[in-house]
Amino acid sequence: MRLPDEPEVPAQINIVPMIDVIFAILTFFIMSTLFLTRSEGLLVNLPQASSAKVQPSTPITVTIDAQGNIALNRKTVPIDALSTQVGQLIKPNQETLVIVNADKAVNHGQVVTVMDRVRQIPGAKLAIATQRP
């Protein structure tokens, strides 16, 4: 019971908990969308080319990192086993795009060697990954 001489206190809404919940939901959506991107190769510094064209995504990616290590779909492979392992991933009587991600610091001779091995595989179409300037 309120006494007649007490001032009336206006009703207040505390929005701090609501802001915390909204930021938590926003953080969840931001973090979940980061995992929706598909990384096809290892992280390398690609050379730039103004004539680069976007290619459809492919299950076969050969990556050569700055130290010269070769990876097939993110798994390290020796150069001698590259042809056989790529050949096993290509379906018979079907052309498959094989993208070569080579770091710009890699020796040109090693990139040519990998490209030569991939080019000898029947059904393999070769593409080199670059980024636009």
Q: What is the CATH number of the domain that holds 64?
A: 3.30.420.270
Which pTM was predicted?
Answer: 0.56
Which residues in the chain land under pLDDT 70?
1-4, 37-44, 46, 52-58, 133
What domain range includes position 79?
Answer: 60-128
pLDDT of residue 20: 92
Please indicate, yes or no, if residue 104 is contained in any of the structural domains.
Answer: yes
Please indicate, yes or no, if residue 73 is contained in any of the structural domains.
Answer: yes
pLDDT of residue 21: 92
pLDDT of residue 120: 84
pLDDT of residue 40: 56
Contacts of 118 (CB under 8 A, 6+ apart): 62, 82, 83, 86, 98, 100, 124, 126
Please indicate, yes or no, if residue 28 is contained in any of the structural domains.
Answer: no
pLDDT of residue 4: 67
Count how many domains the chain has: 1
Give the 3-state secondary structure of residue 60.
Answer: strand
Tokens 């103004």 belong to residue: 50
Please indicate, yes or no, if residue 37 is contained in any of the structural domains.
Answer: no
d(CA 123, CA 129): 19
d(CA 76, CA 90): 18
Please indicate, yes or no, if residue 89 is contained in any of the structural domains.
Answer: yes
pLDDT of residue 42: 59
Please indicate, yes or no, if residue 49 is contained in any of the structural domains.
Answer: no
pLDDT of residue 81: 84
Sign of CA dihedral 88, 93, 97, 103: positive
